[in-house]
Structure 1
Amino acid sequence: LTINQFHQQIQFRLCQTNIDLKQEIFSRLQMWKNSYGVLLFLYSCLMTKTIDLLKKEIDDETTLPLIDIAHGHGSQCLTNLLITGFATPHCFDGDKDISGFKLYGIRQQAYIGFLSSLEIYRLMEVGWFLKNPKTPIWILGSETHLTVIFSREQALVELENDTPLKKALKSF
């Protein structure tokens, strides 16, 4: 299957319920398993979010591409979209106002986290919501690639509502 053949086979389907969505995916499971399955997943995420909403969420006034044209790397916007559902280029917690310019960060604790080797150089800030996901699964970003790390040990993460008092009471 060539990339052109793959694109000719893609169909846009709108599912009204989760049951409809599951049936749609399972009826085309072979397509999801082929060599373009990741691309199909990406297209599905982008179309589910809608292009208009993606443009609003990518708060950079320049046209920030989701995939780098020269090297094919996914942008931070794309990574954040896939792990949080929100296509912001920033990894800090909440929103920031820099001299009247509003920067949108991560708004809640994610199920999958993100860590960056660039943070040690102060090139980016990763907030608590991404460093401490709801499940012990992280995407580790470096200058050239992404790596998935995980553990079965749930104690590595804490839920947002785990206050110091709740943590202390759990230990007794």
Structure 2
Amino acid sequence: MCLCPTSLGQVDQRDQEKALAAALSDSLWLAGQEERATVTLVTEDYCITPRLDYKLDNFTEKLQLFTFDKKDDVWKFILDHIQCFKEEGSHGVILFLYSLICSRTVDRLMDDLDSNTSHLLHLSLGNFVCQQALLNLLLTGRASPHVFNGTLQFGEDGQPLEHPLQGVLSRSDVGYLHWSREQMDRGGLPQVGSMLKTPRFPVWVCCINSSYSVLFSLNRSLLSDWRMEHQFKLFYFNGQNCQRATAQLTVDTHSHHWEALSTEADPEKRFPSLEMTIRTKWDGAAIDWNGTDPFY
């Protein structure tokens, strides 16, 4: 099958459901250290008998756990119950979050986190937002709270840290890129390590000014053959209603170095956030939007 934006947009519903089931099962299998995975579904009746001092939320008590020791069985089970994760009002996101936690186990989860991170979600402007630990759990199977490579044992003063900071230990299938204009202005932009910048497949979850989106290439050799990185195409989709079609960008790392326009007063026009995000991976790259007005 020839992959192009047009063909990707013509994938039928059943194939979309198979792809969703595969993505969910992959994350759960990684969280279970590729040995086991647990899927949670909500039932009509209580699955546990609450204690008298237990405050009911009428959801957690109705969760039923299904544990598998073969990855194919996880995928088949999720596909058979895909409506539980995709239908309107199905609580699919929270079910998947419970499944992730149960697959990882609470004990392993607490080992993953450090003394500065005790929650997977935080409340911001009335909405619950993913902590980096939860995003890393989704991408790598391990809830490390930081985006650098490895474990940080020493502080800036060279002294051993009482509680080492946990970063990313291995490459994942899907990568991660980060850019924030506010953090950049404050000089606090986190430096994403090569483990997340260079995944096995050319697909990146992007956090751009606190909004999430996807950047990908259709050339699987992009990350394995340095010659492919001279000039290549990337596709971008942010899932917002204002974006009607996947944006196609041409990235040039070889023929000339990017220089910011000096005539624009608006920083977003001088330094489009998506372009700056791409340059965290390909430093100095020139980026052509191919007729699309820059956005993120």
> Normalization by structure 2: what TM-score?
0.48
The answer for the alignment partner of 2:165 in structure 1 is 103
The answer for the alignment partner of 2:123 in structure 1 is 69
Report Cα offsets for 1:110-165 as digits up to 9, x if no partner.
Answer: 1110011048544311011111111011011133221111111123313xxx8x9x
Distance 1:58 1:73, change over 3 A: same
The answer for the alignment partner of 1:144 in structure 2 is 210
Counterpart pick for 1:15 among 65, 68, 79: 68
CA contact (8 A) 2:140 2:172 kept: yes
The CA RMSD measured in Å over matched residues stands at: 2.4
CA contact (8 A) 2:117 2:145 kept: no
Instruction: Kindly indicate which of the two structures has a greater share of residues assigned to strand.
Output: 2
1:62 CA displacement: 4.0
3-state SS, counterpart of residue 97 of structure 1: strand
Report Cα offsets for 1:46-100 as digits up to 9, x if no partner.
Answer: 11001111111011x1453211123311000000000011111111111221221
Q: Does 1:155 align with 2:210?
A: no
Distance 1:19 1:84, change over 3 A: closer
3-state SS, counterpart of residue 89 of structure 1: coil
3-state SS, counterpart of residue 141 of structure 1: strand
Distance 1:139 1:22, change over 3 A: closer
Distance 1:73 1:135, change over 3 A: same
Matches within 5 A, 1:1-172: 9-35=62-88, 36-59=91-114, 61-70=115-124, 71-98=127-154, 99-101=159-161, 102-118=164-180, 121-158=187-224
- Decide which moves more: 84-93 or 148-157: 148-157
2:204 maps to amino acid: W
2:209 maps to amino acid: E
Distance 1:63 1:75, change over 3 A: closer
Report Cα offsets for 1:17-48 as digits up to 9, x if no partner.
Answer: 33443443234222122232222222111110
Unaligned runs of 5+ in 1: 165-172
1:124 maps to amino acid: P
Unaligned runs of 5+ in 2: 1-56, 227-296
Tell me the percent identity.
Answer: 31
Distance 1:107 1:80, change over 3 A: same
Q: Distance in 2 between matches of 1:157 and 1:86?
A: 23
CA contact (8 A) 2:179 2:189 kept: no
3-state SS, counterpart of residue 74 of structure 2: helix
Distance 1:104 1:143, change over 3 A: same
Distance 1:95 1:8, change over 3 A: closer
Distance 1:19 1:109, change over 3 A: closer
> Normalization by structure 1: what TM-score?
0.78
Q: Distance in 2 between matches of 1:66 and 1:123?
A: 20
Q: Distance in 1 between matches of 2:151 and 2:86?
A: 38
